[in-house]
């Protein structure tokens, strides 16, 4: 069974509306859908989906102990680290660190790190 890609990830969040706003404005994700109870939303990031889920969501298909702030994920960007940092600063989003040289799926990359509203670590990488 060869795995070829990640289709989507689920990020536990505390406040769905504020998190949709953060991921849309800061990272440029587009809202695909959200449920009527405001406990779940699907965002698009390039060819992937990012699903946001609050602790109030009622479904059997949850992680055993989903916790807002527990995700550590890396997203690829076509913006240079300098452009990314300028964008983040214009929105008042504090940097955790960066730019730093890292190694990713395509080799050498440069990354900038931020945290989302719940404290999950978001790495934004750039391949030259």
Residues tagged active-site? 123
**Cα 72 to Cα 90: distance, rounded to the nearest angstrom:** 24
Polymer length of the chain = 128
Q: Among residues 77, 75, 93, which one has the least CA distance to residue 6?
A: 75
**122 membership: H or E segment, kind and range:** strand 121-126
Q: Return all residues near 31 (Cβ < 8 A) that are at least 6 apart.
A: 20, 24, 41, 42, 43
């Amino acid at each position: 069974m060869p795995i070829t890609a990640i289709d989507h990830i689920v990020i536990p969040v505390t406040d769905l509306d504020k998190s949709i706003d953060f991921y849309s404005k800061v990272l440029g994700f587009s809202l695909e859908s959200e449920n009527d109870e405001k406990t779940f939303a699907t965002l698009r990031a390039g060819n992937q989906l990012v699903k946001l889920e609050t602790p109030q969501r009622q479904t059997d298909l949850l992680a055993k102990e989903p916790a807002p702030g527990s995700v550590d994920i890396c997203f690829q960007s076509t913006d240079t680290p300098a452009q990314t940092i300028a964008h983040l600063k214009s929105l008042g989003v504090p940097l955790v660190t960066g730019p730093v040289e890292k190694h990713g799926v395509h080799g050498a990359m440069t990354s900038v790190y931020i945290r989302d509203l719940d404290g999950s670590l978001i790495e934004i990488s750039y391949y030259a």
